[in-house]
Amino acid sequence: MTAVRERVWTTVCALSELLPGRGVAALLPDGRQVAVFRPGDRTEEVYGLSNVDPFSGAAVLSRGVVGDLRGVPVVASPMHKQHFDLRTGVCVEDGEVSVVVFPVRVHDGEVQVGSP
């Protein structure tokens, strides 16, 4: 038997509040922090990762520089500069380490985060 749960979407901000090439942090109702990134100015391209940097334990990933490495969209941790794949949460420098990925969508000009 499979339990099917409806995914819950939480609106965090307007798309216009996301600076292209940067991220913001949002606080989910359950207390978790998600870092929402908008790598460029294309509206549909947004990503969500846990805001907590697994190397330092600090909730800072949303404040990292966003870019790409060999075509892979990444954020660089502002603490010690490890890169995380925005699509999978996997650390580029250490494949054993990854952060939780949150689904993110743009709906009617609003950015919404779903439960992972």
Partner 1 sequence: MNRLVVIGNGMAGHRLVRALRDRDPAGSWRVDVLAEEPHPAYDRVALTSYVDDWDFDRLVLDPVDLASVHLGDPVRTIDRAAHTVTTASGAVYGYDALVLATGSYPFVPPIPGHDLPGCHVYRTIDDLDGIRAAAGRIGVGRRSALVVGGGLLGLEAAKALRDLGLSPHVVEMAPRLMPLQVDEGGGGLLRRLIAELDVTVHTGASTQAIAEERGRLLATLSNGTELDVDLVVFSAGVRPRDELARSTGLAVGERGGVVVDGGCRTSDPSVYAVGECACVDGRVYGLVAPGYAMAEVVADRLLGGSAAFPGADTSTKLKLLGVDVASFGDAHAATEGALEVVFHDAVAGSYKKVVVSDDARTLLGGVLVGDASAYPTLRALVGAEVPGDPAALIAPAGSGGAVGIAALPPSAQVCSCNAVTRGAIDEAIGAGCADVACVKKCTTAGTGCGSCLPALKQLLAVAGVAQSTALCEHFGQRRVDLFEILRATGIRTFSELIERHGTGRGCDICKPAVASMLASLGAGHVLDGEQAALQDTNDHFLANIQRNGTYSVVPRIPGGEITPAKLLVIAEVARDFGLYTKITGGQRIDLFGATVDQLPLIWRRLVDAGFESGHAYGKALRTVKSCVGTTWCRYGVQDSVGMAVELELRYRGLRSPHKVKAAVSGCARECAEARSKDFGVIATETGWNLYVGGNGGFTPRHAELLVSDVDSAMLVRLIDRFLMFYVRTADRLQRTAAWIEAMDGGIDRLREVIVDDSLGICAELEAAMELHVESYADEWSGVLEDPAKLARFRSFVNAPGVPDPTVSFREERGQRVPVSLGMPGGGR
- Residues in contact with partner 1 by CB under 8 A are 10-13, 17, 19-22, 24-27, 31, 33, 36, 39-40, 52, 54-60, 63-71, 73-74, 76, 78-79, 81, 83, 94, 97-98
Please check whether residue 8 is in contact with residue 108, taking contact to mean a CB–CB distance below 8 angstroms: no
**By C-beta, is 7 or 71 nearer to partner 1?**
71
Phi, psi of 97 (to 5 degrees): -105, 135
Hey, how many other C-beta atoms are within 10 angstroms of the C-beta on 40? 11
**By C-beta, is 63 or 102 nearer to partner 1?**
63
Mode of pairing for the β-strands spanning 83-85 and 101-102: unpaired
Q: How far apart are CA 45 and CA 28, in angstroms?
A: 21
Q: How far apart are CA 46 and CA 3, in angstroms?
A: 28
CB of 26 to partner 1, least distance (A): 5
**By C-beta, is 8 or 27 nearer to partner 1?**
27
**By C-beta, is 4 or 30 nearer to partner 1?**
30
In whole angstroms, how far apart are CA 18 and each of 1, 35, 43, 65? 41, 11, 10, 14
CB of 5 to partner 1, least distance (A): 23
CB of 3 to partner 1, least distance (A): 24
CB of 92 to partner 1, least distance (A): 11
